[in-house]
Amino acid sequence: MAARAGPAHTHSVDHTRHARRLAEALAGELTARGVALTGSIATGTDHPDSDIDLVAVAETAREDQIRSVEGRMVTIGWKTIDEIEAALHCPWEAPAAVPAWRDARLLADPEGLLEHVKARAAAWDWLLIADQADRWAAAGVTGLAEEVHKVCGMLTADNARAAAANRAILTLRLPGLLAAADRILYRSENELWDLICRAEGEAWTDAWDSAAGLTGTDPAASCRAALRLYRIAAARVDEALDETQRPVVATACRLAARHGA
């Protein structure tokens, strides 16, 4: 086994080094106030097919870019420094932005702008946005009550595709809301699913695996599993619900329960 471990490690180092060289070369070509490498290539946890994530500081708002360079996909996120710093205070961005900037490799930073962002990310704490995070998670769960009604309605109407589409919305959007409620930071969505399963426990994990199609359950059972996810999330954010949100969520939970969730 030792003989097989060596080449795998070397290969990992080689493709990471290659990606970082490409990132450094691209950084030198961009007209930007600063450029940082983020994501798995910055942390060295990438695989040969990982894309190269660059953040480039723009003077004014501009569209992101996607390129293919030497067979590697490169995403260039153009952000103003105000947008970058604001992400650290948004509950829908901070859970991913904070670790991204903590791990970022600065490729160009003549004004020290990105070094300042890294310092703010290093000192960041959930207490800075705790109340806002709870309100955002509560609002998000309330908004997803509509998807509960759609899943239940499509199950009743025997419209499998529509039910599955709305099941997928619940399955994919609820974890991001719970990341804020559970105070979870994650480097990418690839980490998010497992982190939420560990935080929420066995009932959530079993339901998520079924809703995501990992357990081979039939479509209707997967839909009911997504409805269970909603009920778990609703219980998690219950204390943060206001007087207008609570009856909406309660109605959706009762409907989910009537459909076997």
Q: How far is CA 197 from CA 95, 174, 182, 185, 209, in A?
A: 16, 12, 11, 14, 9
Per-residue model confidence (pLDDT) at position 2 = 36
Query: Residue 156: exposed, middle, or buried by beta-carbon count in 10 A (0-12, 13-18, 19+)?
Result: exposed
Average pLDDT estimate for 111-121: 98
- pLDDT tens-place string over residues 51-79: 999 999 999 989 999 999 998 999 999 99
- What pTM does this model have? 0.90
CATH class of 2-124: alpha beta
CA distances from 135 to 108, 140, 144, 211, 237 (A): 37, 9, 14, 26, 9
